Amino acid sequence: MLLLQQTTLVPKLLLFSKSDFSFKPCSSSLSTRLSLMDKHTKSSSLKQFQSPILACQASTDTHDTSFRKDDLPVHGVSEVIVGVLGGGQLGRMLCQAASEMAIKVMVLDPLTNCPASAIAYDHMVGSFDDSATVQEFAKRCGVLTVEIEHVDAATMEKLEQQGVDCQPKASTIRIIQDKHLQKVHFSRHGIPLPDFMQIDDLEGAKRAGDLFGYPLMLKSKRLAYDGRGNAVAKSEDELSSAVNALGGFDRGLYVEKWTPFVKELAVIVARGRDNSISCYPVVETIHKENICHVVKAPADIPWKIRKLATDVAHKAVSSLEGAGVFAVELFLTKDGQILLNEVAPRPHNSGHHTIESCYTSQFEQHLRAVLGLPLGDPSMKTPAAIMYNLLGEDEGEPGFHLAHQLIGRALNIQGASVHWYDKPEMRKQRKMGHITIAGPSMGIVEAQLKSMLKEEGSESQTAVKPRVGIIMGSDSDLPIMKDAARILTLFGVPHEVRIVSAHRTPEMMFSYALSAQDQGIQIIIAGAGGAAHLPG
Ligand SMILES: Nc1c(C(=O)O)ncn1[C@@H]1O[C@H](COP(=O)(O)O)[C@@H](O)[C@H]1O
């Protein structure tokens, strides 16, 4: 027999026989989870139940289940229980941030051993794409949010009508989960985007090719993530194989004009319940086979581009409803344009570095936002950080072995923090964990990353660590300070230039000076205003 827990209003324990139970722990990939949902939640086997299939993880073992956790009084920073649809790594890191403030986070995920399960206040085993299950879950939470957008938006809309507090709003989830609808929405709001067009058949795809030229980017409207759902046709001849690779027109496809970007950028934008908006520093994201691999914070871009990227991200998020953090992915083109790629209505891989490098991590910020607490300071407390995703390099045990070798090296790297998501199954290219290296400059953290990866030339990279730091509180010092850089280059002195966050100049100058010394930087040249804030 399996013990199944119910909501506060009904009997605390329900008993079902094991054969009634539709969900079984298995591969925890999102795609597997989504197909599991197709197979199970939409199948008659599930629908035969009057009650939704809900299982609290603790109830499958010998734990005392005589009272439920949500019967206990709450004395955390907020009295509200946060319900999260999805329990992957993002849910796990939300739970970690919540535990700092004793905020209770419950997750809904079909896998008993999903990454968030071990540390969530409670884990309801069930599908986040199944209406009855989501409704049952919502009854136990004060506010409902998501860590994945492929959830049941129609149910969220229904729940909102019944007074359930969903943050961000169901309308936002509905727009975002269909990439084409997302593009239509943002173009209506005047956000710069690559040209795009829906395609319903091969003739339509050819017309798009004639209009936009080749290569042409074909995309699935829905259920696309981590690079899946994109296919490139280099010429008209490749159109039909690209369509097939995406599962055919029935899946719902659209095309985007190829954007020859020079960099991919991202901005995490937080919006509070009072509609206040706060943006994190712009980062650069580097992808490997369409999957985010490295994030550099802050992005090495001119001030004007930084401002433009932040403005576009701010405007994009302003057009959506609800509180939370949103990730805005952008392209920077050769001619200095910023085009929106896509938006995620939740914490995002491009914001993982914030755990170590910002005053408020994106995960804490999301909780603050959905709970109506004041938003925290998004600015960086370290001058630079680099995030490296641990993507599965092989299947099964060999993959775990390779990942753990790298983790072993990371543990010896100054400024490196290791995050391991505890996914039970290793697969190629799967996001298994990440490492963030924070330090006094991008040059230094990049050198640390190279030495961690044991890339060829890492020794020489380490050998050319900067000896001089040129630091200033804003771009306005640049016209004068660039001459200093020019002279150092002339004499072959390795150096780095760093512009710190203007409104945090004193603290940033101070922390730069202290950590630079540790890293072997011997001389610091500072703009007159900034110099006043340097120790000694
Ligand atoms: N990577 C993404 C995306 C996305 O990229 O669209 N959305 C959610 N996630 C995170 O990945 C987990 C699934 O990861 P797996 O596919 O490896 O199981 C989700 O639960 C969420 O935390």
> Quick check: 175 and 181 in contact, CB under 8 A?
yes
485: pLDDT confidence band, cut at 50, 70 and 90? confident
Q: What are the DSSP calls for 404-470, one per residue?
A: HHHHHHHTTSTTEEEEE---S---TT-EEEEEEEEES-HHHHHHHHHHHHT-TTHHHHHHT--SEEE
Please name the helix (run of DSSP H) or strand (run of DSSP E) that holds residue 384, with its range, or none.
strand 384-391
Closest C-alpha to ligand 1, atom 18: 29
Closest C-alpha to ligand 1, atom 7: 148
> Quick check: 124 and 75 in contact, CB under 8 A?
no
Closest C-alpha to ligand 1, atom 17: 29
| pLDDT higher than threshold 70 for residue 460 | no
Higher pLDDT, 349 or 514: 349
> Quick check: 96 and 154 in contact, CB under 8 A?
no
529: pLDDT confidence band, cut at 50, 70 and 90? low
106: pLDDT confidence band, cut at 50, 70 and 90? very high
> Quick check: 328 and 174 in contact, CB under 8 A?
no
49: pLDDT confidence band, cut at 50, 70 and 90? very low
- The pLDDT of residue 71 is 63
Ligand 1 lined by 392 (C-beta under 6 Å):
no
DSSP tag of 157: H
Ligand 1 lined by 90 (C-beta under 6 Å):
yes
- The pLDDT of residue 338 is 98
Which residue, chain included where needed, has tokens 């319903």? 200
Question: Taking CA 296 as the corner, what is the angle to CA 92 and CA 285, rounded to the nearest 5 degrees?
Answer: 75
Query: How far is the centre of ligand 1, averaged over its atoms, from the C-alpha of 176 (Å)?
Result: 15
Residue 323 Cα distances to 95, 142, 145, 214, angstroms: 18, 14, 9, 39
Closest C-alpha to 387, from 345, 433, 344, 335: 433
Query: How far is the centre of ligand 1, averaged over its atoms, from the C-alpha of 460 (Å)?
Result: 37
> Quick check: 117 and 109 in contact, CB under 8 A?
yes
| pLDDT higher than threshold 50 for residue 203 | yes
- The pLDDT of residue 47 is 32
DSSP helix/strand/coil, 380: strand
- Complex-level ipTM: 0.95
| pLDDT higher than threshold 70 for residue 502 | no
Tallying the residues shown for the chain, one arrives at: 536
Q: Which residues pair with 525 in a beta bridge?
A: 470
Over residues 30-59, the mean pLDDT reads: 40
Closest C-alpha to ligand 1, atom 14: 30
Take residue 392 and report the two structure tokens written for it.
């599965």
The type of residue at 66 is S
Which ligand 1 atom is at minimum distance from the Cα of 226? 5
DSSP tag of 73: -
Q: Is the dihedral of CA 394, 395, 398, 401 positive or negative?
A: positive
Picking from 186-190, 227-231, 234-238, which range would have the lowest pLDDT averaged per residue? Answer: 227-231
| pLDDT higher than threshold 70 for residue 217 | yes
- The pLDDT of residue 99 is 96
> Quick check: 467 and 456 in contact, CB under 8 A?
no
Over residues 308-319, the mean pLDDT reads: 98
The verdict on pTM exceeding 0.90 is no
CA 109, CA 105: separation in Å to the nearest integer? Answer: 13
Ligand 1 lined by 430 (C-beta under 6 Å):
yes
Q: Provide the mean pLDDT of the chain.
A: 84
DSSP helix/strand/coil, 324: strand
70: pLDDT confidence band, cut at 50, 70 and 90? low
Query: How far is the centre of ligand 1, averaged over its atoms, from the C-alpha of 386 (Å)?
Result: 21
Ligand 1 lined by 89 (C-beta under 6 Å):
yes
Over residues 415-436, the mean pLDDT reads: 97
Picking from 46-50, 78-82, 514-518, which range would have the lowest pLDDT averaged per residue? Answer: 46-50
CA 168, CA 143: separation in Å to the nearest integer? Answer: 10
483: pLDDT confidence band, cut at 50, 70 and 90? confident
- The pLDDT of residue 466 is 77
- The pLDDT of residue 526 is 77
CA 281, CA 508: separation in Å to the nearest integer? Answer: 14
Closest C-alpha to 148, from 49, 294, 31, 47: 31
| pLDDT higher than threshold 70 for residue 60 | no
- The pLDDT of residue 488 is 77
Which ligand 1 atom is at minimum distance from the Cα of 344? 6
| Residue from 33, 90, 146 whose mutation best tests the ligand 1 pocket (most atoms within 8 A of CB) | 90
| pLDDT higher than threshold 50 for residue 322 | yes
Query: How far is the centre of ligand 1, averaged over its atoms, from the C-alpha of 469 (Å)?
Result: 39
Query: How far is the centre of ligand 1, averaged over its atoms, from the C-alpha of 470 (Å)?
Result: 40
Closest C-alpha to 441, from 467, 460, 406: 467
- The pLDDT of residue 455 is 60
DSSP tag of 477: G
- The pLDDT of residue 54 is 34
Neighbours of 333 (CB within 10 A): 15
1: pLDDT confidence band, cut at 50, 70 and 90? very low
| Residue from 33, 34, 89, 430 whose mutation best tests the ligand 1 pocket (most atoms within 8 A of CB) | 89
> Quick check: 125 and 54 in contact, CB under 8 A?
yes
* Strand runs labelled E in 245-290: 253-257, 261-271, 277-279, 283-288
496: pLDDT confidence band, cut at 50, 70 and 90? confident
Residue 124 Cα distances to 66, 121, 148, 533, angstroms: 17, 10, 16, 51
Report CA dihedral (487, 298, 381, 536) to the nearest 10 degrees: 0
